[in-house]
Amino acid sequence: MIIIKKINELRNELTIRRKAGKRIGLVPTMGYFHEGHLSLMDYARERSDVVVVSLFVNPAQFGPDEDLECYPRDFRQDEQMANERGVDIIFYPDKDEIYPDSFFTYVITEELSKVLCGTSRPIHFRGVTTIVAKLFNIVQPDIAVFGRKDAQQAIIIKKMVADLNFPVEIIVAPIIRESDGLAMSSRNIYLNPEERKQAPIIYQALQKAVEMVQRGELDAGSVEYTIRQQIETVPLARIEYIKIVRERDLSPVKAIEPGTFVAVAVFFGKTRLIDNVVLK
């Protein structure tokens, strides 16, 4: 595995491999790897010849009061985990390599960025689409792999790719969960022991919603109410949103129909956790 910090070096390296007929797979990350990231690397490995993992804590997707400064970082551990997983190249640029002085151009996927997480994080998806568009231009991958935990992010990136004609196939890999159901996230490390103990209520509530729909409940309001009630059984949970929306355009539904999923954001202390499940 090689570590590359400069865009030109990465481009030169990938040109050689592309000329040799190799298929390039990209896994964009912000590091601090867990099993979820490793599964994305596996997806890329199975579908491409050269696996590039980008590791960049992207300042443009953090709001002014968010956790950019304390976002967990451990490059040595990430390097070892990626190496063991068979990654070929880690692209690990400095901030100035990606955002030099006088950086003025952003990519915005208008309507989809304003709902769900976009309501409380107004610049977040602009930062995500901008860095992902830059990575697509830098790496020019055949495929790129994202996790379903960030369902809104994956839907927005697919839309950006379609709208801007990026020649890349987007693969969305399933959520990887802890044994008690909590969706894996680098931010889970912020939870104190009591918060960590209560956090699996999110998945339990989502599972209850799936069961309700399987039993024939199609009223989105009732399903949402049950999820809320369930999550509120633990004292430390503070719900930001519970939304039942269409996969296609994130618009809310009244009656649950095929292509509907429920997305939630819940605070435990200062830690904001997100999760989602497909309902139908």
Q: Which residues are marked as active site?
A: 37
**What SS3 class is residue 24?**
strand
User: Is residue 28 part of the contact set for ligand PAF (CB under 6 A)?
Assistant: yes
The separation between CA 107 and the C-alpha centre of its own chain, rounded to angstroms, equals 17
- Using CB under 6 A as the binding rule, whether residue 176 contacts ligand PAF is answered as no
User: Does residue 61 bind ligand PAF (CB under 6 A)?
Assistant: yes
Q: How many CB atoms lie within 10 A of CB 100?
A: 8
**276 contributes a contact to ligand PAF by CB under 6 A:** no
CB-count burial class (<10 Å; 0-12, 13-18, 19+) for 231: buried
In the bound state with ligand PAF, the residue whose beta carbon lies nearer, of 124 and 196, is: 124
Query: Does residue 141 bind ligand PAF (CB under 6 A)?
Result: no
29, 39, 188, 198: which one contacts ligand PAF (CB under 6 A)?
Answer: 29
Asked whether position 152 contacts ligand PAF by CB under 6 A, the answer is: no
Do 108 and 126 meet the contact criterion of CB atoms below 8 Å apart?
A: yes
Per CB under 6 A, the segment of 3-11, 27-35, 193-201, 231-239 that binds ligand PAF is 27-35
Q: Which residues of 116-131 are buried (b: 16+ CB within 10 A; e: fewer)?
A: bbbeebebbbbbbbbb
Name the nearest CA neighbour of 33 among 69, 87, 94: 87
Identify which of residues 28 and 118 has a Cβ nearer to ligand PAF in the complex. Answer: 28
Least Cα distance to 252 among 230, 226, 279, 214 occurs for: 279
Rounded Cα gap, residues 203 and 249, in angstroms = 24
Q: Alpha helix locations (H) across 140-239?
A: 151-164, 193-198, 201-214, 220-231
Distance of CA 106 to the CA centre of its chain: 19
User: Which range binds ligand PAF by CB under 6 A, 25-33, 68-76, 113-121, 172-180?
Assistant: 25-33
**Of 92 and 231, which CB lies nearer to ligand PAF in the complex structure?**
92
Instruction: Return d(Cα 210, Cα 221) in angstroms, integer.
Output: 14
Does 131 engage in binding with ligand PAF (CB under 6 A)? yes
Report if residue 185 touches ligand PAF, rule: CB under 6 A. no
If binding is defined by CB under 6 A, does position 150 make contact with ligand PAF? yes
If the CB atoms of residues 61 and 188 are measured against ligand PAF, the closer one turns out to be 61
By CB under 6 A, name the one of 30, 171, 172, 220 that touches ligand PAF: 30
Query: Which of 4, 36, 52, 58 lies at the binding interface for ligand PAF (CB under 6 A)?
Result: 58
Distance of closest approach, residue 280 Cβ to ligand PAF, in angstroms: 26
Footprint on this chain of ligand PAF (rule: CB under 6 A): 28-30, 58, 61, 128, 131-132, 150, 153
